[in-house]
Structure 1
Amino acid sequence: MPENVAVDRTHNYLRQIKGSVLYKGVSVVASFLTIPIMISYLGIAQFGVWSTLLTIMSWVVFFDLGVGNGLRNKVAESLAKDLPGEARNYISSAYSLIAFIALALWLLFAILSYVVSWQSIFNTSLIAEKELRSAVQIAITFMLVNFWVGLITALLGAVQKSALVSLGQLFTNVFALIVVYLLSVSGEGSIIKLSWVYGSALLGGNVFLSVLFYRRYKYLMPVFRLCRDHVTPLLSVGVQFFIIQLAVLVVFTTDKILITQLFGPEHVAEYEVVFKLFSIITFVHALVSSPLWSAYTDAYHRKDTLWIVRMLRMQLKLYCGVVAGLLVLACLAPFIISIWIGRDFSVSFSLVALVALFVAVTTWNSIFAVMLNGAGAVRVQLYTAVAAMIANIPLALLLVKFFGMGVGGVVLAATLSLIFSAVLLPLQVFRLLGREAKQV
């Protein structure tokens, strides 16, 4: 293993962090500024509906059967082995497969959207059924197109240019902030207009990234072609990622649905604001951990175990800072929210504390999950994710209905369901790395 390869990998990793800090920093500021404007524009209840709609939109990405993550690993592996032609074949097959899936999903949704009662799903009569249906149709159409174009984020990860993903998010969030502000000063709240704005911003960011990527990596430009020899490996790796993604969907994105159904959409606003605040910690941690996925893939296939161990050791040291940051933020949260949203917007400290605990557990898990994802060793993660998926909703109903914990019970249930991963993923990493893991 040439030493200069490891040095270059480390230097690139640090460059991606620096770029992400700049891009994501502006992106987060724009995102935070958008929240109070949206609340003012839509009102508390409609904002709760909008926030829940965003959750439903996010479900679309889980229908790629894990192809995006499989593509990231296979392209990174091919490039590590100096096989660019192989990488291009994987890219071509992935784009072709996702195009078919997106079209099938759009046709299915076009039919079902007239069968489903959207007022029942969002538990509201404040917005007319026709308006809700139109908003959902617009949002889902944009998401399905972005479902295909969004493969670019997997490719940027594969070539270890994850900072550019943050640049795309910056484009999306700044565009959304500007247009939402213009909407807020020009008329009354409309969830349909917001769907157009958000969908355009999201799609525009990934189109921008695609242009940048293929100008730089012309030899990876895909063609419309489905090759069984490349689809099968993508799906064999991808299906495991898909099941993990499905479990993550249940644990991470059903909370708003549960809160809407159990307490009403107006309670989603409190939950959303607190989570948005603590997303500062999540974002900062993602800046450091996300670029490592494909770097781990490269190191693992070059058998550079010592480099992996050094990175894990650094991640564990940084985790101490994450915990300290969560404690400080939990103490300051009521004060920050009163300035950010307004003094009339109150949040319970128990919810703040439980969200802080949830973020502490998820960031701990991600340290080890990123390494295992990069190595393609996701079997244990698959089992723990399924266990979390099965446990989450029953735990939430138990804590809310029998222990009367309110919205905090939904958050605590999600946290408890992740305990399986918190214990078993580190053990899997130590087993995979073998003797060198003792240095962690």
Structure 2
Amino acid sequence: MNKLFSPIYQYFKKHLIKGNARTVLAKKNIVGSIFIKGGSIAVSLVMVPLTIDYINPTRYGIWLALSSIVGWFSFFNVGMTHGLRNKFAEARTRGDNEAARMYISTTYAVLTIVFSAVWLVFLFVNPFLDWVNILNASSEMRMELSILAIIVFTYFCLQFVLKIIHTLVTADQQPAKASLINFVGQIISLLVIVVLVKTTDGSLINLGLALCVAPVAVLIIANIYFFGTSYKDLKPSISHVNFSQSKNLFSLGLVFFVIQIASLVQYQTSNIIIAQSFGPYQVTTYNVVYKYFNVLGMGFGIFLTPFWSASTDAFFKNDIGWIKKATKKYLQIGLLFVLAGVVMLFISDTVYKYWLKGQVDIDFTLSIWGLVFFSSFMFASIFVNFLNGISALKIQFWASLISPVIFVASAYLLIDYYGMGVHALFISSLIASFNGIIIAPLQYYFIIYKKKKGIWIR
């Protein structure tokens, strides 16, 4: 057995250590992420039919719609974690641990204050919210939905603070470790749901607890572990909180904030629009297709994740050759994923049948548009990640101001005027993604090949 696998091991070992330090680190994280995120993808796919079987397709659609609405409150993050990611990476590149610790401590302090306040306000407002009408659900679910909203909202507030450790590990060009944190939380949630299926009747409240408590517990342990070992010298402390310096995070974070709002409108409102226009059941069909083809996005993300922080390091050191070479490789990898997506499309009906045990009917047109959307998403993400890494955000900022309007307007136009089905949401997403699909590649070209500055580099 050793003789069989030894040549394979030696081959990978040789190629993993080939290239400069930045490339080697990226390769190691990609290999680690393949196994971790591969497992994460498998768990997420298993979770869908298991969850639908536990609470039924309509209630699953209600769960997704409620999660999307609560996800809106993430805008109180004000993009600070993205600002921290770039500032932390820059500080580490300079070897300035004091600045890095200040950014970390300040981010923890600000987000703790903000989300504590938001959580208290929500507890006060929640009794006055009519979740039955908001989610187009049955009136008998009123109390259940109110309790579920508190569970989900509490989870969102906690994880936005605790996930700072995820941002730090990723910014330190170790995305495989960040993925491991998420994966462990998923595994525990899956095991809890398996137990629920075997021992209880379908309950949205039980589902909410299963999917929310485990990830938060894992994040708490991750914070304790990393700040007790790898980042012991960067451990957040009150003495390192500097609100006057937080403007460096806010100035960059504010731009990311606007960009995040655009993403929230485009991705989170989809479930709300579908629930209102077609009912909760169709929220499930849309999300099944989204999760199916998102396997491509998640798989491609395994390779692409190191590119953001590596771009920060390479651009800061003026290593333009490395950026060109890396971008070309990512385009080639993306093409392979698109070809894999075509295969996924042709076998999609069979996969849905066995995956979902015939509980959900999926229109083939919806699958076609799912593939088109994720193919475009992978292409755009290459250039957007590079621009995010070098903080060239001005054009993306202005595009983000109008893309939400374009998304919502085109969605309702396609549904109400042209009578399109659920696939209209994928088409609207493509239209609203004009920055990533068209402008970002042009911006990359002008910065890297034409050495342009001005608006292109801001």
Asked if Structure 1 and Structure 2 have the same fold, meaning a TM-score greater than 0.5 normalized by the shorter chain, the answer is yes
Report 1:123-138 matches (<5 A).
123-125=136-138, 127-138=140-151
Q: Any conservation in 2 of the 1:305–1:436 contact (CA below 8 Å)?
A: no
* 1:80–1:302 Cα contact (<8 Å) kept: no
TM-score by length of 2: 0.92
* Distance in 2, Cα, partners of 1:143 & 1:410: 25
Is 1:199–2:205 an aligned residue pair? no
Change (3 A) 1:103 1:417: same
2:155 to 142, 152, 169: 142
Question: Any conservation in 2 of the 1:88–1:220 contact (CA below 8 Å)?
Answer: yes
Q: Note if 1:14 corresponds to 2:9.
A: no
Cα distance in 2, alignment partners of residues 305 and 6 from structure 1: 15
| Corresponding position: 1:425 with 2:440 | yes
4+ long deviations beyond 4 Å? none
Secondary structure of the 2:347 match is helix
Matched, 1:44 2:57: yes
Matched, 1:259 2:263: no
| 2:69 aligned residue | 56
Matches within 5 A, 1:330-349: 330-349=345-364
Is 1:110 aligned to 2:131, yes or no? no
Q: Does 1:218 align with 2:229?
A: no
**Among candidates 320, 333, 337, match of residue 322 of structure 1:** 337
Unmatched tracts of structure 1, length 5 or more: none
Segments of 5+ residues of structure 2 without an aligned counterpart are 1-16, 453-458
Does residue 410 of structure 1 match 2:431? no
Q: Does the 8 Å CA contact 2:18/2:24 hold for their aligned counterparts?
A: no
Give the superposition deviation at 1:431: 1.7
Q: Is the 8 A contact 2:381 2:436 kept in 1?
A: no
Output the CA distance in 2 between the equivalents of 1:44 and 1:56: 19
| Bigger mean CA deviation after superposition, 351-360 or 321-330 | 321-330
Q: Using the TM superposition, give the Cα deviation of residue 319 of structure 1 relative to its aligned residue in structure 2, in angstroms.
A: 1.7
Report Cα offsets for 1:314-349 as digits up to 9, x if no partner: 111112112212211111111111111113532101
Q: Equivalent of 1:397, from 404, 412, 415?
A: 412
- Displacement after TM superposition at 1:436 (Å): 7.3
Secondary structure of the structure 1 residue equivalent to 2:293: helix
Distance 2:201 2:287 in 1: 22
> What do you get for the CA RMSD once the two structures are aligned?
1.7
Equivalent residue for 1:91, pick from 100, 104, 126: 104
Change (3 A) 1:434 1:5: farther
Deviation at 1:129, TM superposition (A): 1.1
Q: Which residue of 1 aligns with 2:316?
A: 301
Greater mean deviation of Cα atoms: 342-351 or 291-300: 342-351
Deviating more after overlay: 156-165 vs 377-386: 377-386
**Amino acid of the structure 1 residue aligned with 2:232:** K
Percent of residue pairs identical = 29
Rounded Cα–Cα distance in structure 2 between residues aligned with 1:168 and 1:59: 23
Task: Give the partner amino acid of 2:323.
Answer: I
Which among 280, 286, 295 is matched to residue 301 of structure 2?
Answer: 286
Change (3 A) 1:15 1:211: farther
Q: Which moved more, 1:365-374 or 1:376-385?
A: 376-385
- Contact kept in structure 2, 1:309 and 1:436, CA below 8 Å: no
One-letter identity of the residue aligned with 1:55: S
Q: Could you list the per-position Cα deviations for residues 140-183 of structure 1 after superposition, in whole angstroms to 9, with x for gaps in the alignment? A: 11221111111111101111111112101211111111101111
Please report how far the alpha carbon of residue 90 of structure 1 lies from its aligned counterpart in structure 2 after TM superposition. 0.6
Counterpart in the other structure of 1:158: 171
- Quote how far apart the aligned CAs of 1:208 are: 3.2
> What amino acid is aligned across from residue 10 of structure 1 in structure 2?
T
TM (norm. structure 1) is 0.95
Name the CA distance, whole Å, in 1 between partners of 2:76 and 2:18.
36
